[in-house]
Amino acid sequence: AQRVTQPEKLLSVFKGAPVELKCNYSYSGSPELFWYVQYSRQRLQLLLRHISRESIKGFTADLNKGETSFHLKKPFAQEEDSAMYYCALDNYGQNFVFGPGTRLSVLP
């Protein structure tokens, strides 16, 4: 079955430190992966998707098919990055499977 795991419920880093939020998936075929973010009191929104190969707000994510991972990285965390982050998998164009989420807390 298609599944997304995010092993860390909470990740705390200091401002300016590098951050990596882990995401692993199980999927048959070529996966389409996304990172969604939910800031405090805001709705869930797309941060980035692997197909675009873009950097958004300094975040990047590389799809590693060998390790079935799609980790989210940022070299220098900012306080405004504090939020819930969800990794998601496009399930054959029918729906999206979300991971349980990681709460990122960037400390001053």
Partner 1 sequence: DTGVSQDPRHKITKRGQNVTFRCDPISEHNRLYWYRQTLGQGPEFLTYFQNEAQLEKSRLLSDRFSAERPKGSFSTLEIQRTEQGDSAMYLCASQGRAGNEKLFFGSGTQLSVL
Residues making contact with partner 1 (CB under 8 A) = 4, 6, 9, 32, 34, 36, 43-46, 49, 51, 86, 88, 90-91, 93-101
Nearer to partner 1, 38 or 82 (CB): 38
Nearer to partner 1, 49 or 74 (CB): 49
Nearer to partner 1, 12 or 75 (CB): 12
In the complex, least distance from residue 51 CB atom to partner 1, rounded to whole angstroms: 7
Map residue 32 onto helix, strand or coil: strand
102: nearest Cα among 25, 5, 28, 33: 5
DSSP secondary structure of 36-91: EEE-TTS--EEEEEGGGT--BTTBEE--BTTTTB--EEESS--GGG-EEEEEEEEE
In the complex, least distance from residue 42 CB atom to partner 1, rounded to whole angstroms: 9
